[in-house]
Amino acid sequence: MTAQIPLTQDATGQANSGRRDVQVLSIAADTTAMRSRSWQRLRFEIEYALEKGTTANSYLIRGNRIALFDPPGGSFTQAFLAALQAEIDPAEIDYIILGHTNPNRIETLKALLPLTPHATIVCSNPAAIALQAAEINAPIQPIKGGTGSDIDLGQRHHLQFILTPTPRWPDSMCTYDSVSEVLYSDKFFGAHICAEATYDIHRDTLLEDQRYYFDCLMAPNARQVETALERLGEYAPRLYATGHGPLVRYGVSDLTQKYHQWAAQQQGQDLSVALIYASAYGNTTTIAQAIARGITKAGVGVISINAEQATTAEIQEAAETSAGFIMGSPTLGGHAPTQMQTALGIVLSAASKTKLAGVFGSFGWSGEAIDLLEGKFKDAGYSFGFDPIRVKFTPDANTLQACEQAGTDFAQQLKKLKKAKAPRVTASSVEKAIGRIVGSMCVVTAKRENVSSAMLASWVAQATFTPPGFTVAVAKDRAIEGLMHTGSSFVLNILAEGNHLRPMKHFLKPFAPGEDRFAGVDARESEDGQLILNDAIAYLACEVAGRMDCGDHWVIYATISGGEVMDINAKTAVHHRKTGTHY
């Protein structure tokens, strides 16, 4: 059953256009999924950047006692409660099981509890503390780990709780129903994508979204993710009932192996950054997430530390062993939280003064906490990898892109410092031979809403006749990479021999995070809003049809929907290199 619902406002307070509904269906014996779906993203978060919509998945198990899993966030409150009341009398619910808490979910919880007078909330101990602070008036059963905390619902439904904390979600908890063999995986194994398919039937195309979700949410917490995977590995689920996106039925084993592989890749990086933060309302966490995404996409690991949960030893070890550190804090009552002040003292005493530093934070009025961090690091003699990032209230899409670019710049500086210290090595004969592969000199431009980017590209080759298509290699640390996922539009601008130096120099120069790459560039918009360089000899209007992970680059396969030769007499500029070790 699918219930259509009226449009409401999203979590940013802006009205959404586009379809929303609640999909209700059986997924196992006595088990119902209630999938609150939106075909638009609901808030400005880095993992929503693909704009493929999202689902907030909730579940009902009806044994002798009834359990409701993970009511959705406030964007879906009214629709979810209507669908729930059409499915069951909420007063019959015995347990409300929470995989994690946040202000958005608590909003729905406060609306739900008057309808469930006999329900006990089951959650991790950190979540219980958060609920008490939010003045939730209901019995709470905190799960503290170990044995003896299982719940028998009857009708052979037996729930086992697995604590899976990460710095971003210190209260994270998964639940396993040993009879139906369903793992309620909360944030693990999800994807922010909305589609008619309930399950992962399109595994090949879905994998890109699952990988992006992992890179945004899990990669900065790779060590804790691996620990969680080890705990989950003690069970044998046939289905992952995810918190977001399609339920995983057909790729349980494959996706689990991918998570192990991706986490190992992150932990295997030879450079790492300690990212230490606290967050009052989630905004500082969102900024931290974007910075971490920029660092990890540049091939540098992140040691993510939530100062509100971490021990002194954990902070000290990260400060001592990382190549650089970044600290972020909200401002509460004109001050940094006590936990951040403590962490600051540990970092100042443990981190070598030769290490690169970074500062960020969010605030509602004046931002004194950011000033404190910046001032202390300046006084101690640290160099900064980017200018302090100050965000008032909730970061928007442009701000998050700038934060991601700041993280990438930080990582690239660490790599340059390491390279400068390494002994110079003469290029091998093979590397010199690779350099003899030539390519057309082009500029790739991409725009989505108010976010635009560009890069110089010469690793371009025609790939197909029907449909007309080509491949272009995009380094993972390029700012434009986030605008070139499957389904995205972009333009390939082909430069003219003898007239390529000006655009080449412009797009080769380093840009500050968030800087307009088209300032002073002669460009016009295409019919679909993409940017065409007037200095180009020709252009091709393209759409990303697929991506292949190739080490430090993505190979993008694009199909061509249009184009034009603007100078029929000019020749294409060609890029010659002496070695294949750099562009």
Q: What is the dihedral of CA 218, 219, 221, 225, to 10 degrees?
A: 60
Identify the residue whose tokens are 């399950």.
199
Cis check: omega of the bond before 388, within 30 degrees of 0? no
Cα-to-chain-centroid distance, residue 416: 26
Q: Which CATH number fits domain 434-575: 3.30.470.20, 2.30.110.10, 2.60.40.10, 3.30.70.20?
A: 2.30.110.10
Torsion sign across C-alpha atoms 375, 377, 379, 382: negative
- Cβ neighbours for 163, distance < 8 A, ≥ 6 positions apart: 124, 143, 145, 172, 173, 231
Length of the chain counted residue by residue: 583
Q: Could you tell me whether strands 151-154 and 93-97 are parallel, antiparallel, or unpaired per DSSP bridges?
A: unpaired
d(CA 415, CA 58): 43
d(CA 282, CA 377): 25
Single out the residue of 75, 85, 74 nearest to residue 24, CA to CA.
85
d(CA 99, CA 81): 19
- The b-or-e profile of 50-88 (16+ CB within 10 A means b, else e) is bbbbbbbbbbbbbbebbbbbbbbbbbbbebbbebbeebe
Superfamily (CATH H level) for 2-265:
Ribonuclease Z/Hydroxyacylglutathione hydrolase-like (3.60.15.10)
d(CA 562, CA 572): 19
Asked whether 151 and 128 are in contact (CB, 8 A), the reply is: no
Single out the residue of 490, 481, 499 nearest to residue 441, CA to CA.
499
Asked whether 65 and 52 are in contact (CB, 8 A), the reply is: no
Residue ranges of the domains in the chain?
2-265, 269-421, 434-575
Single out the residue of 387, 193, 432 nearest to residue 291, CA to CA.
387
Using DSSP, state whether 472 is helix, strand or coil: strand
Identify the residue whose tokens are 């075909």.
39
Q: Which helix (H) or strand (E) holds 502?
A: helix 501-508
Per-residue pLDDT of the chain (583 residues; tens, 9 = 90+): 555 444 333 333 333 445 788 999 999 999 999 999 988 765 556 667 777 888 999 999 999 999 999 999 998 999 999 999 999 999 999 999 999 999 889 999 999 999 999 999 999 999 999 999 999 999 999 998 765 579 999 988 999 999 999 998 999 999 999 989 999 999 999 999 998 899 999 888 899 999 999 999 999 999 999 999 999 999 999 999 999 999 999 999 999 999 999 999 999 999 999 999 999 888 999 999 999 999 999 999 999 999 999 999 999 999 999 999 999 999 998 999 999 999 999 999 999 999 999 999 999 888 899 999 999 999 999 999 999 999 999 898 889 989 999 999 999 999 999 988 888 888 899 999 999 999 999 999 999 888 899 999 999 999 999 999 999 999 999 989 989 999 999 999 999 999 999 999 999 998 888 889 999 999 999 888 999 999 999 999 999 999 999 989 999 999 999 999 999 999 999 999 999 888 8
Cα-to-chain-centroid distance, residue 552: 19
pTM: 0.87
Using DSSP, how many helices (H) and how many strands (E) does the chain show? Answer: 13, 30
Q: Which CATH number fits domain 269-421: 3.30.70.580, 3.40.50.360, 3.40.50.720, 1.10.3720.10?
A: 3.40.50.360
d(CA 291, CA 386): 11
Longest dimension (CA), the chain: 80
